[in-house]
Structure 1
Amino acid sequence: MSKLAIADGEQTHEKTEFGEYLFNIGGFPPIKIQLPPELNAPPDNTKTKEDMRRELDQLMERMTELKIKVDQINPNYKQEHGGFGWLNAQEWFELVGMHFRHHLRQKYELDEAWGRF
């Protein structure tokens, strides 16, 4: 088992109210969420489409490998998330999908907005 999987050991702490809401609905709500300035870095727009496709393929491979490991980690081993409270490995893994779907929704909104010009 990796050090990260047991970093804070077994915890009885729970998610925040927003964290519970987020996991109950299975994703980010369609609202604008204001991040603190230190977390709101501008995107790197220097990559080509091919670079991004290659990185997405690598991410998918890594997520497939991690899913097997994540399912074997004690769900009482938790790590604190700054906005959502205490999450176990399975919830952190699920959060990646939620985050990705959130960005897909943002892309769709941008595509729609650009289509109007």
Structure 2
Amino acid sequence: MADDELEERLDRAFTALGDPVRRALVARLSRGEATVNELAEPFAITKQAVSRHIHVLEAAGLITRSKDAQRRPCHLNAAALEQLTGWIDTYRLEAERRYRTLDAVLETMKEQEK
């Protein structure tokens, strides 16, 4: 995947996850598939609003939809979430490396003071 394409996917995904309703939908789908009606139940918003949120998550590649007779269940795209966590981990690991280096320097300074 080209860097520009990856950046666009990350932008769409993080933008989609910037909304608390969409984060709640992702959290719900992490427990298993659900229809729009099932996803809309806990929210005090219309099914149409939930459908728009689902569309944003789908456009961001975070969820998929399938057709099962009359049902159109939504599914979490675990691979897309893994891609996000991989991107985050890259920077987390670098920050941890810097902190370990700083800890070592501070420990050396403490020992030298003794």
**Structure 2 length as normaliser, TM-score?**
0.31
The structure with the largest alpha-carbon Rg is 2
User: Which structure carries more helix by proportion?
Assistant: 2
Larger relative contact order, structure 1 or 2 (CA cutoff 8 Å, min sep 6): 1
